[in-house]
Structure 1
Amino acid sequence: MAIKTRKIFKRILLALLIIVGVLIVVYWDLVIYGVRQARGQMNIIYNARPVEEFLHDPDFPDSLRRKLVLINEVRRYAIDSLGLKDTRNYKTLYDQKGEEIMWVVTASEPFRLKAKEWTFPVLGSVPYKGFFNKDLAVALRDELKKEGWDVSIRNPGGWSTLGWFTDPILSKMLERNEGDLANLIIHEMSHATIFVKDSIDFNENLATFIGDRGAEKFLIHKYGIHSAEYQTYLNEDTDYLKFSDHMLRGTEKLDSLYKTMSENDPKEKKAELKKEMIEKIVASLDTLTLSEDNNPSERYSKNLPNNAYFMNFRRYQARQEIFWDEYRNQFRSNLKAYVEYLSEKYPFL
């Protein structure tokens, strides 16, 4: 009987090994990507040092020390007053030594605002791909361009591992002003609290909303509603909302244009119409009344934005009015109650 049991066990084990082997072969690229990402993440975590070391280091600049204290205050406020999840995140600091450490590649169809998606375990479909190696990010960008995609590559100010790893403070975060820094920390903490599988646009829009509202509340709590810190944040946020609303209207114009095109239309003609539309969207940026920038179109003087760039505004801003309506009408601007409601409605992954 024991011999028979061992034979059955060996067969089961062999079958499992075969299945694992087949999966590794089929998903080899994904396995390699996962290993590289884990290695990059582990390198950052391993080389990050406890915040307390920097706070007690006499050679560490006072201005940066104050930012570290501020991050801890933001973190505590987000947990106690906003109801975000308490994790080990942002208790260590990784020195980037002035260098970028992550690159994110996004892509869209050239004549339709439809993102390319990559599928990952647990997360599901994701419309971007991150790298801790610039060469790999550039190689993917170039490959996608050859395939005909509109591609964008950018350096994120921060990212969340959703509580799976200990996310450190990155030294470049300390270059931000008080409001921008508070917004970033609360945005990323929101991801570790509410994250819905296969719903990146929802997740990013929601984290944007919670980050914006949470930063406002924190700055008023710490500095006061008439403080320079709060007023600076308010002016910058107002400018960005005007800018992003303009770009969202631009996406609607591009959508309308693409719907007039057919597969039989010459590619060159479609590309020319697309270029003309984007040029109009960019040029009309200068009609906006912004407090910090009189000629926002100049940032695109060398390179026009493409579909992948416009898709970012949908990913982070297109659903803000939906959240605003719920926040104001159902929760009377009580952000903690709203976060608790969303946490119950959308179980984490």
Structure 2
Amino acid sequence: MLATKKIRASVSVCAAALCLSQLSGCAQFSYYAQAVHGQFSLLAQARPIASWLDDPSASDKLKSQLRTVKQIRQFAIDELTLPDNGSYRNYAQLQRKFVLWNVVAAPALSLTPKQWCFPVAGCVSYRGYYDQQSAQKYGAQLRSEGYDVQVLGIPAYSTLGWFNDPVMSTFINYPDAELARLIFHELAHQVLYVKDDTDFNESFATSVEEAGAERWLAANGDEHRYQAYRDFEARKTAFLALLLKYRQQLQDTYTSHISDADKLQNKARIFAALQDEYKLLKIKWDGYAGYDRWFAEPLSNAHLALVATYYDLVPGFRALLAQQHSFAQFYVAVAKLAKLPKDERRRQLMALAALPAR
């Protein structure tokens, strides 16, 4: 049955790629071809976790992490009502640091990201490549067209339940609580995904990941895990506040009535200040370098275009979760929101966020 499902999915994806190529030309076909090849190459490398645990050549560290994954995966089903399927029951050892690279682009004087539209996912604010050089090449093309661009390595992603997403070497060595968060986040995308609304989808998944991690730690945390989680949360909160601070400064500049030349001058000053303040944050963090890869390329609007995507609507989702008696009821309530027009979904979530905490 599983093999049949994969074959049917393969045919569907390839057929979609062929149809789109007839409409969009060779460049579009090439993009879909690399996506199909990359996805199936990934699946081909995945083996059941039980097989790795029985493999005498696998390291003790890997086996320990995979046992933790099994525990996290069962918790996701039992306590968070996340899908009980084949995802995160296999493991793939990749020969690269990231599973794919996302290209994000925005105009030189705007924080509104460029959109790409796909048959299943709808329109999203990024374009993914399994090969870093291909992503960099496309990024260079967009820069030549006048866009600000960021090419960022991604450790994990969800196929929205179309395939059995594996655990990968790109994130297996995360601290336990962060491993749990990532798995909860990606499984949440399999619960609900709304075409053409990245903010809604990512904020929903983030709310599940955060609430799920809190529950998982309450059930499985020791002092070491709690301290690692608190440290991570403190750094993430500080880094997010830093990005939002300078994002607002850029937004104020771009919507002002000064000349474009002055806007560009202010833009350069704002990004330089962001970089300097990040260096001060690292000193407070005793040199923690977990966010350094975010600065691997010259800072641009593309770096800040998606900051709000993962967090703007989270307070509303968290308030909605607090109103429900279970995660299952929460998902039903979110599904009702998903049926509303996009602007109305956002309005209701913002109204929920404004309610007094319960």
1:73-92 correspondence runs (5 A): 73-92=71-90
1:184-333 correspondence runs (5 A): 184-224=182-222, 227-261=223-257, 265-267=259-261, 269-285=262-278, 292-293=285-286, 299=292, 304-328=298-322, 330-331=323-324
Distance 1:134 1:23, change over 3 A: closer
Q: Normalising by the residue count of structure 1, what TM-score does the alignment of the two structures yield?
A: 0.83
State the distance in 2 between where 1:154 and 1:63 align: 28
**1:27 corresponds to 2:35:** no
> 2:240 corresponds to which letter in structure 1?
S
The CA deviation string for residues 9-49 of structure 1, in whole angstroms up to 9 with x for no partner, is xxxxxxxxxxx998643223433322220111001101211
What SS does the aligned partner of 1:103 have? strand
State the distance in 1 between where 2:48 and 2:273 align: 49
What SS does the aligned partner of 1:321 have? helix
Deviation of 1:115 (Å): 0.3
Of the candidates 104, 107, 112, which is equivalent to residue 106 of structure 1? 104
Contact 2:99 2:154 (8 Å CA) reproduced: no
State the distance in 2 between where 1:230 and 1:301 align: 28
Number of residues of Structure 1 aligned to a counterpart in Structure 2:
321
> 1:257 corresponds to which letter in structure 2?
T
What SS does the aligned partner of 2:191 have? coil
Distance 1:94 1:266, change over 3 A: same
Mean Cα displacement is larger for which, 280-289 or 158-167?
280-289
Distance 1:301 1:84, change over 3 A: closer
Question: Which has the larger Rg?
Answer: 1
State the distance in 1 between where 2:295 and 2:104 align: 22
The CA deviation string for residues 130-189 of structure 1, in whole angstroms up to 9 with x for no partner, is 011222111110000111111001111100001111211111222211011111111111
Mean Cα displacement is larger for which, 184-193 or 277-286?
277-286
Distance 1:294 1:327, change over 3 A: farther
State the distance in 1 between where 2:131 and 2:281 align: 37
Deviation of 1:229 (Å): 0.6
Identity fraction in percent: 27
Contact 1:190 1:210 (8 Å CA) reproduced: yes
Deviation of 1:344 (Å): 4.8
Contact 2:203 2:310 (8 Å CA) reproduced: yes
The CA deviation string for residues 263-320 of structure 1, in whole angstroms up to 9 with x for no partner, is xx354x4322111122233334467699634698x94888552111112311212222
Higher RCO by CA contacts (8 Å cutoff, separation 6 or greater): 1
Q: CA RMSD in A?
A: 2.8
> 1:277 corresponds to which letter in structure 2?
I
> 1:80 corresponds to which letter in structure 2?
D
The gaps in structure 1 that reach 5 residues or longer are 1-19
Of the candidates 165, 173, 178, which is equivalent to residue 175 of structure 1? 173
What SS does the aligned partner of 2:154 have? coil
Deviation of 1:219 (Å): 1.9
Distance 1:180 1:63, change over 3 A: same
State the distance in 1 between where 2:235 and 2:120 align: 36
State the distance in 1 between where 2:331 and 2:203 align: 14
